[in-house]
Each structure stands twice: as structure tokens, then as C-alpha cells.
């Protein structure tokens, strides 16, 4: 693939990207969320057409207009979510649409035999006549792969195949990948797990913001460098927030913490952790996508229930059973998914802003319309929500303004702990800077803030303390003084994998 560009309305998803794959090699495609990985895959498999550039498959220029064309040319894809029919048998799934037939009749025994042989190649001996849903996710994944390689695949694309597998299942999958590699198949592997990239891949291509950062041999690229390539540092130049005289963390931490987590965790989601957040303190959560940042924050708010450990608010243990309990303790949570978990698109700006406050009062004690208008007016002005029309449906606002509406909803509840999950994602630079400034002002005013962002620079600029996550575990907690910079955080992310159990830094 050379010079691939793909534009969506308003976004340049891929900008002149080159990408190559070799037979018998595993190629990892890396990049943060929104870097263009999935767009590239979809271009390669014919889901999207391309605006510019060429795709060459075995010396022949191809132009796929539909997934079926790509499949026929030998490009098979296994998507993150297994897309098979759970109610059909394993063999039926493998041969769906291509059942061996004789005079229009399906030859069941031939089909089952071939299915069994195929799975044998993947070192999997299961009863192929049983319903697919009776097998584990890992087996289903294998079946999906079996289906993909039976279409005489020259190129196999695995999009996040390991996200739902446990360690043993991953090992089994990797055995299969190695076998395919030795058969001369070119494998494209997408994952967020760095360890797996280093275990299986021969070559790495890094994308950032739709641009090619570079292609590297895995052996020549240290983990630390990979992380910094993926995250990039150009954001720092974009915005300058006046360098705050960093308040002394020691002074902040002298008082009683507002909230304290002791061994808080949720099985299979967040490894138990300890954390304290003091009034006026901004604690940043840093880590790559899928490292458990959001999941950690959700436990504080009760969006998911913790099944281990306890939470203390102002020194007293509190069982946070759900958002209502958290809100009664003045905890607020702005979700990263504004549309699905934050705003009610159909309701107006005003209604969205007063929603949480009204919820705490119950339905029987409505806020008077005048009070609503006062509050909404104040926050529309203070946060500069545009257009300044409280009666507009919130879904018609731009991303940045929607984010401000969500912020306003929580600010009028006067929280003492504000959890911000990716508050600046997908919004323009101006709105981003405003929100960052707001975080500083709020914490100066004594509010405790838990701040999550994929952008390290942003976390560094705003936080007093940074907890670093990797693989759903807090691997380091750093006091954000002069010695801490992006490199130090990245090295914490990278080294935690290597040292694993030994390195649980608590600085």
C-alpha cells in the first residue's frame, strides 16, 4: 500500500500512508485511538474505498470495492468482535455460504470432515457438529480464524484478537499465528497490549493522527521508544497554559484526604489499588488505551461496583453502591462517552445541565424554572457554551460545547471530587485550553479532581500526582515534580511489563 489517503467529512483519517506486508511475517500496526488503524484495515479489506494511493497485492494492483472482493483476492479478516453465528454448528460456521454441495444438497459428512481437518491444522480437536455457542470465546476466535484461512488466505488481518482471551488462550492463538507464518501467510496484528506485540511481531508500523510515523523492525525498536512514537509530543507546542507555580504536594497532602481507596478493585477489570485524593489536588491517570484508566475511575463513582476493598470519604468508610451514593457524597463523573453515557441528545441544553441536580432532589422537588434559568445562564456564560441558547437540543451542539454542557451539569451540583474522563478528547484546541484552565481554577478553589487523558502532556500539565496504569493495574504513582516528564511516565509504562511483579513503584 503506498500513499494511501482517506478523507471523511471534516477529518483526514489517513494522510499519505505507506504500508507493506511480507509473506511469512507478522506485522503489528500500532497507534493510539483515532490514529487511523481501523481505517487502514478497512481500506485494505475493501470496506472503504480510497481517495488516493494504490494497493498492490503480489505485484498486481488491486482496488477493492467490497469486502467480498478482498476475500476472493486472499485478504481475510478476523474482527475484534467474533462475527459468527452462535446458533450454528462449528462446521456450518466455517463453511457458511460455501458449503460443499452435490446436486444442490449439502454434503454434511464431507463438510464436517473438512472442518475437523482444518481445525486440526490449528491444533484444535473439537466436535465440529456442536453449536458454536457451547465453546469458549477463545475457541470461537479459532473458528473465525479457521474460516478466514480456509478462504486460501495470503493476508490474514487480526484486529484486536486477544482482547477477550486469557493468557493461556493467547498462547494458543500465538502458536497458530506462528504456524501460519511458517506457511507463508502475511499476518497483520492489531492490539493494545505491548507485550504481545514484542512476543509475536517481526515488524511494527506506527500511525499517529492518520499519518505514518514509521516502519521499524521489532528487534530494533525498544518499548520505550514505541510508546513515545505512538503518543507523540506535538501537543505541547499547541497550547501553552501559563506554567503554574506547582503547589506543594506535601502541603496539600498534610490534611485529611477527601477520598481514599483501600485495595479497591473489581475482578477481571481493575486490579486492587490504593489511592488518595486530597481537596485541591489533581490526580492524573496515565496509561495507554485499554490500560484500565476509565475502569478505575468508574469504581470511585459507583458506575461499576467494586467487589474488593473499600472507599473512605472524609475518613469514613462509604459503600458506594451506585451513582446515587457517590453523588450524595459530592462526587461527580464526566464520562468519556459523551453521547452514550453522558448527554441525553434529545433534551435541551438547559435540561441536560439541570439533570443531575434535579436527580439528587428527586422528582417531587422540581427546581423552579427561574432557578433553572439562573443556573443555566450562569454556566452557559462562564463556560462560554456556544450557541448560547439553552433551549437548543444538545445533540446539535459541537463536541466541545457538548463537553462543556456535561461539565456544567456536574459543576452545578457543587461536587467536592470531580472525575473527568477524557474531557478534551475530540474537541478543538480552543475548547481544550478552556477546559484545562477550568480544571486549574477548580482545584485552586479546593475541589479534588481525578483527571484522565490519553495525552500525557495534558496529564503532566494539570496533575499534582500521577498514577500510571498498565494492563489494568496501577504500576506507579509519581509526585509530579520537576523530575517527572513524559519520558519518565513512558519508562514506567514500558518497564512495568519487563520487570512485572518486582516493580511496584510507589514514589
Binding site for other proteins (CB under 8 A): 301, 303, 322-324, 327, 333, 335, 340-347, 351, 354-356, 358-367, 409
Cβ–Cβ < 8 Å for 169, 136: yes
Task: Output phi, psi for 125, to 5 deg.
Answer: -115, 105
Minimum CB distance to other proteins, residue 288 (Å): 24
Closest CB to other proteins among residues 251, 324:
324
Minimum CB distance to other proteins, residue 369 (Å): 10
Task: Output phi, psi for 408, to 5 deg.
Answer: -60, -40
Concatenated DSSP letters for 454-493? Answer: S-HHHHHHH-SEEEEEETTEEEEEEE-STT--HHHHHHHH
Minimum CB distance to other proteins, residue 301 (Å): 8
Closest CB to other proteins among residues 210, 342:
342
Q: For residue 12, give the H/E element and its range.
A: strand 11-17
CA–CA distance, 99 with 108 (Å, rounded to integer): 8
Closest CB to other proteins among residues 29, 313:
313
CA–CA distance, 72 with 75 (Å, rounded to integer): 7
Minimum CB distance to other proteins, residue 46 (Å): 31
Closest CB to other proteins among residues 326, 468:
326
Grid coordinates belonging to 458: 495534558
Minimum CB distance to other proteins, residue 356 (Å): 5
Task: Output phi, psi for 43, to 5 deg.
Answer: -70, -45
Task: Output phi, psi for 477, to 5 deg.
Answer: -130, 120
Task: Output phi, psi for 131, to 5 deg.
Answer: -65, 140
Closest CB to other proteins among residues 100, 323:
323
Name the percent of the chain in helix, strand, coil, to the closest 5: 40, 25, 35
Minimum CB distance to other proteins, residue 270 (Å): 18
Closest CB to other proteins among residues 213, 397:
397
Closest CB to other proteins among residues 240, 368:
368
Closest CB to other proteins among residues 333, 451:
333
Cβ–Cβ < 8 Å for 501, 305: no
Grid coordinates belonging to 197: 506485540
3-class secondary structure, 306: coil
**Could you say which DSSP state residue 147 is in?**
H
Minimum CB distance to other proteins, residue 360 (Å): 6
Minimum CB distance to other proteins, residue 329 (Å): 11
Amino acid at each position: 500500500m503506498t500513499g494511501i489517503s482517506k478523507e471523511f467529512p471534516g477529518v483526514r483519517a489517513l494522510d499519505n500512508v505507506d504500508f507493506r506486508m511480507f509473506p511469512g511475517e507478522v506485522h503489528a500496526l500500532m497507534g493510539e485511538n483515532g490514529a487511523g488503524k481501523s481505517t487502514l484495515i478497512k481500506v485494505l479489506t475493501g470496506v472503504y474505498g480510497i481517495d488516493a494511493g494504490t494497493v498492490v497485492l503480489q505485484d498486481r494492483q488491486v482496488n477493492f470495492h467490497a469486502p467480498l472482493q478482498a476475500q476472493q483476492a486472499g485478504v481475510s479478516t478476523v474482527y475484534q468482535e467474533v462475527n459468527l453465528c452462535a446458533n450454528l454448528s462449528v462446521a456450518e460456521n466455517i463453511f457458511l455460504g460455501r458449503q460443499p454441495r452435490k446436486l444442490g444438497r449439502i454434503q454434511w459428512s464431507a463438510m464436517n470432515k473438512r472442518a475437523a481437518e482444518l481445525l486440526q491444522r490449528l491444533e484444535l480437536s473439537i466436535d465440529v457438529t456442536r453449536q458454536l455457542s457451547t465453546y469458549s470465546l477463545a475457541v470461537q476466535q479459532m473458528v473465525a480464524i479457521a474460516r478466514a484461512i480456509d478462504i486460501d488466505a495470503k493476508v490474514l488481518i487480526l484486529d484486536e484478537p486477544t482482547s477477550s482471551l486469557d493468557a493461556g488462550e493467547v498462547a494458543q492463538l500465538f502458536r497458530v499465528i506462528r504456524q501460519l507464518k511458517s506457511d507463508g501467510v502475511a499476518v497483520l496484528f492489531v492490539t493494545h497490549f505491548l507485550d504481545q506485540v514484542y512476543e509475536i511481531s517481526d515488524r511494527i508500523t506506527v500511525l499517529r493522527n492518520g499519518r505514518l510515523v514509521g516502519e521499524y523492525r521489532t528487534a530494533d525498536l525498544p518499548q520505550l521508544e514505541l510508546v513515545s512514537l505512538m503518543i507523540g509530543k506535538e501537543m505541547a507546542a499547541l497550547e501553552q497554559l501559563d506554567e503554574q507555580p506547582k503547589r506543594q504536594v506535601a502541603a496539600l497532602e498534610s490534611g485529611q484526604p477527601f477520598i481514599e481507596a483501600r485495595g479497591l478493585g473489581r475482578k477481571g477489570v481493575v486490579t486492587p489499588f490504593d489511592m488518595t485524593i486530597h481537596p485541591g489536588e489533581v490526580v492524573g491517570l496515565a496509561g495507554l488505551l485499554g490500560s484500565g484508566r476509565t475502569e478505575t475511575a468508574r469504581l470511585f463513582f459507583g458506575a461499576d461496583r467494586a467487589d474488593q476493598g473499600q472507599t473512605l470519604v472524609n475518613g469514613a468508610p462509604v459503600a458506594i453502591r451506585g451513582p446515587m451514593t457517590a453523588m450524595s457524597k459530592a462526587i461527580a463523573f464526566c464520562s468519556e462517552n459523551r453521547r452514550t453515557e453522558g448527554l441525553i441528545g434529545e433534551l435541551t441544553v438547559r435540561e441536560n445541565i439541570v439533570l443531575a441536580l434535579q436527580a439528587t432532589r428527586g422528582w417531587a422537588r422540581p427546581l423552579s424554572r427561574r432557578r433553572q434559568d439562573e443556573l443555566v445562564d450562569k454556566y452557559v456564560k462562564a463556560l462560554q457554551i456556544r450557541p448560547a441558547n439553552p433551549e437548543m437540543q444538545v445533540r446539535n451542539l459541537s463536541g466541545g460545547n457538548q463537553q462543556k454542557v456535561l461539565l456544567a451539569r456536574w459543576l452545578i451540583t457543587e461536587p467536592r471530587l470531580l472525575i473527568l474522563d477524557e474531557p478534551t478528547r475530540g474537541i478543538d484546541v480552543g475548547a481544550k485550553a478552556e477546559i484545562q484552565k477550568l480544571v486549574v481554577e477548580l482545584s485552586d478553589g479546593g475541589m479534588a479532581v481525578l483527571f484522565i487523558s490519553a495525552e500525557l502532556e495534558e496529564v503532566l500539565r494539570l496533575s499534582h500526582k500521577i498514577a500510571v496504569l498498565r494492563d489494568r493495574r496501577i504500576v506507579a504513582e509519581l509526585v509530579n515534580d520537576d523530575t517527572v516528564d513524559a519520558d519518565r511516565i513512558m519508562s514506567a509504562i514500558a518497564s512495568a511489563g519487563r520487570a512485572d511483579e518486582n516493580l511496584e513503584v510507589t514514589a
